[in-house]
């Protein structure tokens, strides 16, 4: 079992930045691919970014590539998402998740989920 708790969300103006954190506890954090997903009102949950257990491999959705950076600190069992040049369309609840599948983009391959943190970008 892995417990995940996101933090760092909030209200920011377009063009601004936020850093999300996801604190993990439970089974060995470093064994898992970690991912960020988001869900906007009235929309399906979508993939944002993923990082391999070692941190050497990453994957990003086209909508965020070049603006968002995923990283992890296995010693601190924490996942991060640095978000820059934020746009109103980035407004969503952001979730972190853990998977045993390498760099998966599919949410149904993630076994553990956090409760989510709200990010709101004003225009």
pLDDT of residue 19: 98
Q: Which residues are CB-contacts of 10 (< 8 A; sequence separation ≥ 6)?
A: 18, 118, 119, 120
pLDDT exceeds cutoff 80 at 26 = no
pLDDT of residue 119: 98
pLDDT exceeds cutoff 90 at 1 = no
For all residues of the chain together, what is the average pLDDT? Answer: 96
pLDDT of residue 90: 98
Cα 84–chain centre separation: 14
Do the Cβ atoms of 38 and 48 come closer than 8 Å? yes
Q: How confident is the model at residue 55 (pLDDT cuts 50, 70, 90)?
A: very high
Do the Cβ atoms of 32 and 52 come closer than 8 Å? no
């Amino acid at each position: 079992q892995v417990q995940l708790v996101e933090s760092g969300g909030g209200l920011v103006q377009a063009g601004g930045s936020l850093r999300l954190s996801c604190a993990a506890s439970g089974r060995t954090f470093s064994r898992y691919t970690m991912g960020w997903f988001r869900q906007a009102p009235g929309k399906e949950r979508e993939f944002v970014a993923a990082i391999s257990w070692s941190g050497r491999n990453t994957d990003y959705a086209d909508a965020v590539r070049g603006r968002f950076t995923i990283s992890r600190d296995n010693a601190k069992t924490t996942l991060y998402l640095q978000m820059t040049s934020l746009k109103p369309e980035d407004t969503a609840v952001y979730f972190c998740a853990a998977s045993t599948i390498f760099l998966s983009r599919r949410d149904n391959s993630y076994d553990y989920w956090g409760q989510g943190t709200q990010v709101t970008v004003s225009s």
